[in-house]
């Protein structure tokens, strides 16, 4: 119910002011302390690199964003599907959960070079890495949401002679929704990281990760920074899009923190 009135402005003004202040301080610090440009370029120099290569940066960003998006869709889709299956057949879940948690601890990004061999050095391997990164948090959270239903909720449904499917549709699924969305927000960030880091291990020249790597290698630090900022903007936009979907889907739920 947050409006855009005086209250909204008061919420937004301090971070916006801090942002501008930070940029000014950065610019002055580089000038005053004579910081080398490979350590930290001036914001104004990054800005001109950004303006000069606007088209190339955004087309690279879009290329990478697509990888992240498809990885997100595949990883979250698989996570939800497996969570549903494990919630339905509990013994299966109990047998598989330790392995799922152990697998979650594997540094998946270390598999990036191998993923290139398995899924192709083009977008396939990047999508695969993003998907695997998204899979586990979604699986674990959705499963928890589906199974952490109060016993009295189930008793109430049974007193109406409700079958398993009705309990699932009317209780378990809505109960899992907040868990699903917090996992999706985490996954949206992981998908971008997975795609970009995966790109460091080779592939098409249009990729954002390759742009960052190559620009830095060519002492073109302003462009590397500009490419990182493009990655940030896309990552934040992805996160905000998922948050917006959450707000729309959860209009009828108690505000976060108030949930008992």
Question: Which residues contact another protein (rule: CB under 8 A)?
Answer: 150, 152-153, 155-156, 158-162, 166, 170-171, 174, 177, 250, 252-254, 258-260
| Six token digits for residue 30 | 């580089």
Please say which residue, 27 or 153, places its beta carbon nearer to another protein.
Answer: 153
Please say which residue, 69 or 171, places its beta carbon nearer to another protein.
Answer: 171
**How many whole angstroms separate alpha carbon 195 and alpha carbon 67?**
6
For 193, counting Cβ atoms within 10 Å of its Cβ (0-12 exposed, 13-18 middle, 19+ buried), the class is middle
Report the nearest approach of another protein to the CB of residue 169 (Å).
11
Please say which residue, 60 or 157, places its beta carbon nearer to another protein.
Answer: 157
Report the nearest approach of another protein to the CB of residue 181 (Å).
13
Report the nearest approach of another protein to the CB of residue 174 (Å).
5
Q: Which of 150, 169, 154, 157 minimizes the C-alpha distance to 259?
A: 150
Report the nearest approach of another protein to the CB of residue 48 (Å).
51
Using left for φ > 0, alpha for ψ between -120 and 50, and beta otherwise, residue 207 falls in: beta
SS3 at position 17: helix
Please say which residue, 170 or 206, places its beta carbon nearer to another protein.
Answer: 170
Report the nearest approach of another protein to the CB of residue 211 (Å).
44
Please say which residue, 39 or 161, places its beta carbon nearer to another protein.
Answer: 161
Cβ-contact 76, 184 below 8 angstroms: yes
Q: Which of 110, 108, 176 minimizes the C-alpha distance to 140?
A: 176
């Amino acid at each position: 119910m947050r409006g855009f009135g005086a209250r909204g402005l008061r919420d937004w003004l301090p971070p916006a002011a801090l942002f501008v202040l930070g940029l000014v301080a950065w610019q002055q610090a580089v000038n005053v302390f004579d910081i080398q440009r490979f350590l930290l370029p001036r914001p104004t120099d990054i800005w001109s690199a950004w303006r000069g290569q606007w088209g190339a940066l955004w087309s690279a960003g879009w290329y990478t964003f697509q990888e992240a998006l498809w990885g997100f869709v595949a990883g979250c889709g698989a996570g939800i599907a497996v969570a549903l299956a494990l919630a339905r057949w509990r013994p299966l879940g109990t047998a598989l959960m330790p392995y799922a948690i152990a697998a979650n601890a594997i540094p998946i990004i270390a598999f990036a070079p191998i993923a290139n061999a398995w899924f192709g050095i083009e977008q396939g391997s990047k999508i695969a890495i993003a998907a695997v990164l998204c899979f586990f948090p979604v699986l674990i959270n959705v499963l928890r949401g589906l199974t952490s239903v109060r016993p009295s909720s189930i008793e109430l449904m049974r007193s109406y002679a409700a079958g398993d499917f009705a309990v699932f549709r009317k209780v378990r699924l809505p109960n899992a929704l907040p868990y699903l969305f917090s996992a999706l927000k985490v996954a949206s960030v992981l998908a971008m990281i997975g795609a970009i880091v995966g790109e460091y291990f080779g592939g098409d020249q249009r990729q954002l990760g390759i742009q960052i790597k190559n620009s830095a290698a060519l002492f073109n630090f302003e462009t590397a920074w500009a490419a990182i900022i493009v990655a940030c903007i896309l990552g934040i936009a992805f996160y905000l899009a998922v948050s917006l979907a959450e707000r729309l889907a959860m209009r009828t739920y108690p505000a976060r923190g108030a949930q008992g």
